[in-house]
Amino acid sequence: MSIMTKILAAKPVTAALVTEMQTQAASLTNQLGRKPKLVVVAAGDDPASAIYIRNKQRRANTVGIDAVTEHLPVTARTADVLAVVRRLNADPTVDGMIVQLPLPSGVDTEAIRNAVDPEKDVDGFTDVNLGRLWSTPKDRPITTLRPCTPRGIMKLLAFYNVSVAGKRAVILGRSNIVGKPMAALLLHANATVTIAHSRTTNVQAILGDADIIVAATGSAGLVTDADVKPGAVIIDVGMNRVATSDGQTKLVGDVDFDSVQHLASAITPVPGGVGPMTVNMLIYQTLEAAQRRADRQ
């Protein structure tokens, strides 16, 4: 059977989202009397974090959001970070806030995560927002701020008209960042959802029955053509650096793209698939938080 595989690339989705967000940011600037504002709280000198922060600031500036970083030294302790978070919670000019991980050794990440005001939690990581996500009744729209990667995946599927309702979805990975909230979003969209993880037995049989596979394990090339049924939709969240034969490195996903592509009806590339959607959703949710503030005013 010949399958025409649709490549679910982020670039056209991003173009549409940027236009939408620029319009909304301009409207909010008029309503609020200032630009919507996103603050990144960071501590230490992790080089990867610095790159992520720059990417977020660039995208925010592109759409008309004021993005700034509150940077603490590597010697910062839990009380120091909490003080910054609480100050930003109380600041009426701050619409969205994220705490860039990792934090320095010894800092209580859980305490910091849950100190963020849920109405400003544009990462969607607080227990309050995760609880709201899971408790939303099936007949009501989800309005809470939610983890950005799963929300970006849902935007990607909707843009390419990939049907979810009634489909069997298997998620590889059970993190609070991707796996669990992804399950909640797919379930709310009327998919039948299974979460598989490191202790799951007979994973290949479970994957072979899936209409949709979301791979989020951090294991390069884990999913191969032996795991996928013809016509399945493959969402690859993995971002893994692997060595090449010439001594360089390249970015690959959790899915062996070359072997799976000919079987899938749709598949996300790595890079250029899920990754850019995560940053877009962070900015998107900052605008949502700002809109709620404008509506209250």
Residues in the annotated binding site for NADP(+): 173-175
Q: Which residues are annotated as a binding site?
A: 173-175
Rounded Cα gap, residues 126 and 159, in angstroms: 28
223 neighbors 172 (Cβ within 8 angstroms): yes
Which among 291, 296, 272, 294 has a CA at the least distance from the CA of 14?
A: 272
115 neighbors 86 (Cβ within 8 angstroms): yes
SS3 state at 99:
strand
Half-sphere exposure of 213 (CA within 13 A, CB side): 37
Give the residue numbers annotated as catalytic, written as ranges. Answer: 56, 100, 123
Which among 224, 235, 232 has a CA at the least distance from the CA of 265?
A: 232
Which among 69, 70, 73, 68 has a CA at the least distance from the CA of 45?
A: 73
Q: Kindly tell me the number of DSSP H helices and DSSP E strands found in the chain.
A: 10, 11
Neighbouring C-beta atoms of residue 42, cutoff 10 Å: 23
The answer for residues whose C-beta is within 8 angstroms of residue 98's C-beta and 6 or more apart is 38, 39, 40, 41, 56, 122, 123, 282
